[in-house]
């Protein structure tokens, strides 16, 4: 063995085993969430005391289990996951048996015995249709393609699946399943292609295969590092985002410094959270910084964009402000406030989002209590020079 071979062997071993570890984590997350959905639906249909809970089932369940990441919205997403992908049960059962998770399987069916025949019976209990080995197979409608469910379980993270669950049209969802698997799209790439109407553009294109080829040339592909940054991985492993996310880029540096900067002003800001995750329509969003202002008695949401101001940024911040107003405001709180900071190499802007402010007096008070536009601009100029 020479030195280049030594380096190659180590790199290969690292890459292969890292990918295997990430796949195992993803499969466990996917299996857990499918099982959660399965049990919820089973209880809704056959639970002895289901009538006692009714519409409050998910809220009461979230309070009872007290598991990080399994709040009411996430439980609802798990239920939707089971309903949209019931056939994955076959792969889940195989995976559990292969990993000797007999206790979980017993809780699913109560049929577990030592014989292989009865194990197969359990698998059949959890499975829907059995599909062939091709990537694409037909269901009841010959014209409608469907991805083999073992591919969904083995090649897509639950973060991918959560994006797919937002698509109601079955043909459209199948399109994104296929192209995500074929193109090894990251979650960010899948989200981008959905938002940019890739399915619709392919439908009206004379040569859709060329469109897809062009997309894949520029696509952001899934890697172990960006898969581990999934919010579902954080919750499942009991990690914080800061445990695995590198903070070497401009945006993260600015966020870190802005947090310290605002706290140093000493004008009533109490720090609550960084990269605060909120779930809206089965999608996760992250608010850069969240403060509570003890004088104004309201939440202050701060968003930083390393680009010039545009309407989409303000619309996003307004969505966060609206979410906080409806879900986080308690008795005695005033309406939440949003601050949008935009910057690039030549332009600095500070925008205040005052949507939802009911009283002009409060808006005036808010403007007096917050740092001035000039103070923010001075800070941003200094940060850009230092970085």
Query: Last residue of a domain, which of 228, 259, 290?
Result: 228
Q: How far is CA 95 from the centre of its chain?
A: 24
pLDDT at 234: 66
123 in the same domain as 19: yes
Per mean pLDDT, which of 108-112, 265-269, 336-340 is the most reliable?
A: 336-340
Is 242 part of a structural domain of the chain?
no
Residues 48 and 193 reside in one and the same domain: yes
Same domain, 208 and 251: no
Based on the domain organization, do 62 and 203 belong to the same domain? yes
Report the pLDDT value the prediction gives residue 350, as an integer from 0 to 100.
59
- Which of the two residues, 136 and 327, has the higher pLDDT score? 327
* Whole-number Å distance between alpha carbons of 68 and 227: 19
**61-84 residues labelled b (16+ CB within 10 A) or e (exposed):** bbeeeeeebbbbbbbbbbbbbbeb
Q: Per the domain annotation, does 328 fall within a domain?
A: yes
269 and 354 in a common domain? yes
Average pLDDT on 18-25 reads 79
Q: Tell me, what DSSP letter sits at residue 330?
A: -
* Residue 3, phi then psi, degrees to nearest 5: -60, -45
User: What does the block give as tokens for 269?
Assistant: 């800001």
- Please say if the pLDDT value at position 248 is more than 70: no
281-332 residue pLDDT tens: 777 888 988 888 888 888 888 887 766 667 778 888 889 988 998 888 888 8
Q: Check residues 372 and 71 and name the one with the higher pLDDT.
A: 71
Largest CA distance in the chain: 77
**What pLDDT does residue 237 have?**
67
DSSP secondary structure letters along 42-91: HHHHH-TTHHHHGGGHHHHHHHHH--TT-SHHHHHHHHHHHHH-GGGHHH
Task: Based on the fold, state whether residues 221 and 342 are members of the same structural domain.
Answer: no
What's the chain's average pLDDT? 75
Helices vs strands, H then E, count in the chain: 20, 7
Backbone angles phi, psi at 312, to 5 degrees: -60, -35
pLDDT at 108: 66
Count structural domains, the chain: 2
Q: Burial, 219: exposed, middle or buried (Cβ in 10 Å; 0-12, 13-18, 19+)?
A: buried
In angstroms, the Cα distances linking 33 to 46, 73, 100, 225 are 20, 12, 19, 22
Q: Could you tell me the CATH number of the domain that includes residue 272?
A: 3.40.1350
Q: Which residue has the higher pLDDT, 112 or 140?
A: 140
Task: Give the global pTM.
Answer: 0.61
Give backbone dihedrals phi and psi of 30, rounded to 5 degrees, phi first: -60, -45
Question: Is 237 a member of any domain?
Answer: no
Q: Do 172 and 294 have their domain in common?
A: no
pLDDT value for 128: 44
3-class SS of residue 355:
coil
Residues 202 and 259 in one domain: no
Shared domain check, 130 and 35: yes
Of 321, 317, 293, 318, which Cα lies nearest the Cα of 305? 317
34 within domain boundaries: yes
Q: What is the pLDDT of residues 191-228, one digit of tens each?
A: 889 988 898 888 887 778 888 888 888 887 776 666 66
pLDDT digits (tens, 9 = 90+) for 75-100: 999 999 999 999 888 888 888 888 87
Q: Which residue has the higher pLDDT, 57 or 150?
A: 57
- Burial class from Cβ neighbours inside 10 Å (0-12, 13-18, 19+) for residue 130 reads exposed
Q: Are 152 and 165 in contact (CB under 8 A)?
A: no
Q: Does 94 map to a domain?
A: yes
User: 50 CB contacts (<8 Å, ≥6 apart)?
Assistant: 43, 44, 57
Q: How many CB atoms neighbour CB 335 within 10 A? A: 21
Asked if residue 235 belongs to a domain, the reply is no
**301 in Cβ contact with 328 (< 8 Å):** no
Asked whether residue 276 is assigned to any structural domain, the reply reads yes
Same domain, 267 and 373: yes
7 in any annotated domain: yes
Domain stop point among 162, 194, 228:
228
Contact 349/343 with Cβ under 8 angstroms?
Answer: yes
Is the per-residue pLDDT at 383 higher than 80?
A: no
Which of 228, 263, 285 terminates a domain? The answer is: 228
Mean pLDDT of 94-110: 74
Q: Tell me if 384 sits within 8 A of 278, measured CB to CB.
A: no
pLDDT (tens digit per residue) in 365-382:
445 566 666 776 666 666
Residues 38 and 173 in one domain: yes
Identify the pLDDT of residue 160.
92
Owning domain of residue 189: 3-228
Are residues 287 and 218 located together in one domain of the fold?
no
């Amino acid at each position: 063995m020479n030195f280049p071979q030594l380096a190659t062997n180590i790199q290969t071993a690292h890459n292969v085993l890292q990918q295997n570890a990430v796949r195992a984590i993803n499969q466990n997350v996917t299996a857990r969430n499918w099982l959660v959905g399965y049990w919820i639906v089973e209880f809704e249909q056959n639970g002895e005391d289901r009538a006692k809970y009714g519409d409050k089932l998910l809220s009461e369940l979230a309070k009872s289990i007290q598991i990080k990441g399994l709040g009411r919205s996430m439980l609802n997403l798990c239920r939707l996951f089971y309903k949209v992908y019931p056939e994955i049960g076959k792969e889940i059962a195989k995976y559990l048996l292969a990993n000797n998770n007999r206790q979980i399987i017993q809780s699913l069916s109560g049929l577990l015995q030592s014989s292989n025949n009865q194990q197969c019976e359990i698998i059949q209990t959890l499975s829907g249709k059995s599909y062939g080995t091709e990537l694409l197979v037909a269901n009841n409608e010959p014209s409608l393609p469907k991805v083999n469910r073992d591919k969904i379980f083995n090649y897509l993270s639950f973060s991918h699946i959560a994006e797919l669950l937002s698509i109601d049209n079955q043909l459209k969802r199948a399109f994104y399943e296929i192209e995500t698997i074929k193109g090894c799209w990251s979650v960010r790439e899948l989200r981008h292609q959905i938002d940019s109407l890739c399915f619709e553009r392919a439908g009206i294109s004379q040569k859709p295969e060329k469109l897809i080829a062009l997309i894949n040339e520029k696509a952001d592909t899934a890697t172990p590092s960006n898969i581990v940054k999934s919010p579902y991985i954080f919750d499942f492993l009991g990690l914080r985002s800061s445990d695995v996310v590198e903070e070497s880029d401009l945006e993260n540096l600015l966020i870190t410094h802005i947090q310290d900067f605002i706290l140093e002003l000493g004008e009533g800001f109490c720090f609550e959270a960084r990269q605060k995750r909120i779930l809206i329509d089965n999608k996760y969003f992250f608010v850069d910084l969240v403060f509570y202002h003890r004088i104004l008695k309201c939440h202050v949401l701060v968003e930083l964009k390393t680009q010039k101001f545009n309407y989409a940024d303000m619309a996003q911040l307004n969505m966060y402000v609206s979410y906080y107003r409806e879900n986080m405001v308690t008795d005695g709180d005033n309406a939440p406030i949003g601050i949008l900071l935009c910057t690039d190499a030549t332009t600095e802007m500070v925008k205040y989002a005052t949507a939802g402010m009911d009283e002009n007096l409060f808006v005036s008070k808010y403007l007096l209590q917050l740092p001035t536009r000039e103070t923010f601009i001075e800070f941003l100029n200094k940060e850009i020079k230092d970085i």
